Chain A
Amino acid sequence: MSCPRQSTAQPIAAVPLHRLAHARSGDKGERINIAVFAYRPEFTPYIEAALTEASVQALFEHRGAFRVTRYHLPKLDAFNFVIDGVLEGGVNGSLNLDGHGKSQSFRLLSALAHVPYDFALAHGLLDDKTA
């Protein structure tokens, strides 16, 4: 899970976003949105750095995503991603078992965030909390 690496500044840990944030997917037609919420407000900068419009589009490019728009909602410690073209036919036309794209929030949460090693250690981000 963690792999500290040397840099000129300080060691960095690669942490799955799943440890920093929770998320929910919704759909309308060919468009899905994935809202991502920081478990703690101080995680926000690392989530913001890991999930750019370009990096999110890359996660869904294989399915035809052609546009990603990111909105920041500081009062909710959240980012909302609107992803176009990802459902390959939408809920009524898809061949995918999950035509709604309900499960896609967890694809996004499987991306890696790069967090200062000491910060990750202090917040318990290097422990496996999953059941």
Chain B
Amino acid sequence: MTQTIGIGCGAGFSGDRTDAPIAVVNALAARTEPAFLILETLGERTLADAQMARRRDPSAGFEPLLAEMLRPVLADCLRHKIRIVSNCGAANPKGAAHLIEDLADELGIAKPKVAVVLGDDLTADLPTLPRSPWEGEPEGSTIPLDKVVAANAYLGCQGIVDALDGGADIVVTGRVADPGLALGPLRHVFGWAADDWDKLASGILAGHLLECGAQVTGGYFADPGLKDVPEPDNIGYPIAEISADGSIIITKPNGTGGLVSERTVKEQILYEIHDPAAYITPDAVLDLTEVAVKRISENRVAVTGARGKPATDSYKVTVSLVGGWLGEGEISYAGPNAEARARLCADTLRRRLSRRELAVRSRIDLIGVSSIFDDDGGSLAADSIGRAEDVRVRLAVDAPDQATVEHATQEVLAMLCAGPAGGGGARRRHVERIKTISCLVPKSAVSHAVEWR
């Protein structure tokens, strides 16, 4: 029986570095143990974007950078039997599978065996499904069914296990719980039972550490002088070596930048964790309270102590809703008295929105004085009046319709001629938004399927 497998992660979100999989695949190819490449490209925002893209074009709605990510590594993965598991299917997994087959043709290689995991899309069934609130939503929040664009359940890893058991070279999914991209291969290779909670917990922890790519190998980490990261332009994406007993080592390809240290691993262990004793995934509930890290050698860290509890009887479902329009307009002021001119601009913008009776929710940032820490009312900016000499005023507005948003941002452009002295660099943009709300649906009401191409 195989004792260790290697799982590398080549992408941690949609928009990640598209050359990252190359070093990971080269490192996996040099190993003798079974190896898998996972590409995690789906967030709450990304799935909403994908649903919008599919509404505009029925052949779209999967990871837009998929071809760019896979082209340099697809042939090597197939040659070295590195099987690929990815949620790149987003709102259109069949479309992603189709693209992969076309890519194989383009590269002149044999058609890979692609399996598509379906069942996460609950859009049609949502009105009749029994639903209960998710704990993170404000109390009393309800789902306006007339505004629903899509609803997707976070499936467990069983569909991925089935696909790998069936011999898939590549498994494409829509929404599955991110750690399942690693847990699926582990259950497939080691034959862990679906109720072997401590083993599943180790697999979920490994998947959790991998799923954000560089975030465990020196990305989202550097703080110059305190936490330095070598070669941040060439960060090696992570590889987890996992044994049949559930022990985990996190490392990265040789010859790459970045770093794997106790600190990088600790930060990622608690990333997006709420109650550390109960990280709920569809496959098991992970208890992190006894988890410890230990450096073994340079860029190799062992992670131990994951414990599992039985899975709950519901799936978390992300519901995407028509969200109106976001508009942003910006203009800059610099030099003597710049902050005062920027503040005058902001005050004038507020008066203009009011004078024109534009029904928008709005906020104004003074970038260079106070922005991302502030609230929509600007209370920090009001308390920190100073003499900043390079300030960018940013108006952000939200309204149900595009025209109202455009009227509001037009007021920023008008500041070029009608605003304070020396305003320059005005820009604006408008995007249609999808909002999301989460709820729980009983597992018994949802089923997954594996479709073979």
A: residues with CB less than 8 A from B are 18-19, 22-24, 26-31, 33, 35, 37, 62-64, 69, 71, 73, 75-78, 80, 82, 84-85, 88-93, 95-98, 102-104, 107, 129-131
Contacts and interface: CB of A to CB of B under 8 A. Distances in A.
B273 A80 contact: yes
Contact of A95 (B48, B220, B276, B396): B396
Contacts of A92: 44-45, 48, 323, 433-436
B361 A95 contact: yes
Given A37-B266, A75-B305, A92-B44, A97 B272 contact: no
Nearest to B377: A62
Interface in B26-64: 43-45, 48
Nearest to B434: A92
A44 to B, nearest CB: 13
Given A30-B138, A31-B274, A131-B224, A93 B363 contact: no
B195 to A, nearest CB: 26
A78 B266 contact: yes
B380 A131 contact: no
B248 to A, nearest CB: 15
Interface of B: 43-45, 48, 134, 136-138, 220-221, 223-227, 263, 266-277, 288-293, 305, 323, 326, 361-363, 365, 367, 371-377, 379-380, 394, 396-398, 433-438
B270 A29 contact: no
B436 A103 contact: no
A69 B270 CA distance: 14
A31 B223 CA distance: 25
Nearest to A96: B372
Interface centre among A18, A85, A90 (most CB of B within 10 A): A90
Contacts, number: 140
Nearest to B292: A75
Interface centre among B372, B396, B434, B437 (most CB of A within 10 A): B372
A116 B153 CA distance: 51
14 contacts: A22-B226, A22-B267, A23-B267, A28-B274, A35-B267, A62-B375, A62-B379, A64-B375, A73-B288, A73-B291, A91-B436, A92-B436, A97-B365, A107-B373
A84 B380 CA distance: 20
A75 B397 contact: no
B79 to A, nearest CB: 37
B154 to A, nearest CB: 11
A103 to B, nearest CB: 5
Nearest to B293: A76
Given A75-B291, A76-B292, A98-B372, A35 B271 contact: yes
